[in-house]
Amino acid sequence: MTNAYPIIPLTPTWGNTENQQADVAKTKYGDAGIEQRDYIGINPLSTSWDINVNVRNFLEIDAFLRTRNGKPFRLSLDGVNDDGKFYICTEWQMQQPGVGVGNFTAKFSQVRRAIPVSV
């Protein structure tokens, strides 16, 4: 069975920022400003990555993201295994500071997907 969620051809290097965000609903009561906080959903913690790397395969990465067109993909932090999460990327930038090398900047935001389990 072919995996519908390919791994982006990019291995982040040191210096990229991983952000965690809890989905929390805040409810204020009265004038005293008392707040109640409740988590939203069964998986309230989301991950995003701010990527800024120099790469040689910037055309391959650009083609991958254009083909995905906002659809989920997986990310490998070690170049071998994916991190078990699904991401989307809707904006990215490429700069070409030299021949054969490009600077790639993007934000990968985690999305929740149901994965069919084969028995």
24 band by pLDDT with thresholds 50, 70 and 90? low
- Give the lowest-confidence range in 13-17, 69-73, 96-100: 13-17
Mean pLDDT of 3-19: 77
For 74, the token pair is: 């997986």
DSSP 62: H
**Phi and psi of 79, rounded to 5°?**
85, 0
Q: Is 73 exposed, middle or buried (0-12, 13-18, 19+ CB in 10 A)?
A: buried
| pLDDT exceeds 70 at position 84 | yes
Distance between CA 38 and CA 46 in Å, rounded? 15
Distance between CA 62 and CA 3 in Å, rounded? 20
First to last CA, the chain: 12
CB 103 within 8 A of CB 53: yes
Which amino acid makes up residue 5? Y
